[in-house]
Amino acid sequence: MSRIGKLPIVLPAGVTIEQKDNVITVKGPKGELKQSINPNITVEVEGNEIKVSRPNDERESRAQHGLYRALINNMVVGVSQGFKKDLEIVGVGYRATSNGQVLELALGFSHAIYLKMPAEVKVDAKTERNKNPLITLESCDKQLLGQICAKIRSFRKPEPYKGKGVKFVGEVIRRKSGKTAAAK
């Protein structure tokens, strides 16, 4: 039995779940999310608990059991609490500003990069004196949030020599010594 899949999901107050034609809809104070589910996986709502089960012990069923349980749990947590990711921009002259749903990045290229955020994602860019600029992204959809963070990070990944680039707050970058250390 899947260790993740067999765990029940507890529905917090204010969160409702609907199942119709293999599509799960979760509504809560932070928003509404939908996810289509494989017809082999059964989702049962009992009171304030959701249980996910599978028909057999085939490899495909076992894999999807844990997957769909995790996806439904992420939806429940997202519409009740939401998800938040922080990105830090390291480098001289690198900047980030936000105008509504548009994020403007200056990352050492000859042009600025403008990224329009989806309606589900809230963006905020802060720049304080003598500190690296911070980009804070909030959303109820964990998958979309991670995808946008990866897109922003891909514009200028942190390089291993000086550590310049866009990185997650708390991310440790493996540093390399330059040519001067190798010459000794």
CATH number at residue 128: 3.90.930.12
- Residue 2: the pLDDT is 65
Render the burial of 97-114: b for 16+ CB within 10 Å, e for the rest. ebeeeebebbbeeeeeee
- Residue 114: the pLDDT is 96
Query: Are 109 and 146 part of one and the same domain?
Result: yes
pTM of the full predicted structure? Answer: 0.88
Residue 177 located in a structural domain:
no
Q: By residue range, what is the domain housing residue 146? A: 83-168
Contacts of 106 (CB under 8 A, 6+ apart): 93, 94, 95, 96, 112, 113
- Residue 26: the pLDDT is 94
- Residue 180: the pLDDT is 76
Residue 182 located in a structural domain:
no
Residue 175 located in a structural domain:
no
User: In the chain, what is the straight-line distance between the N-terminal and C-terminal CA atoms, in Å?
Assistant: 57
Contact 95, 47 (CB under 8 A): no
Q: pLDDT tens, 104-141?
A: 999 999 999 999 999 999 999 999 888 999 999 999 99
Query: Are 100 and 47 part of one and the same domain?
Result: no
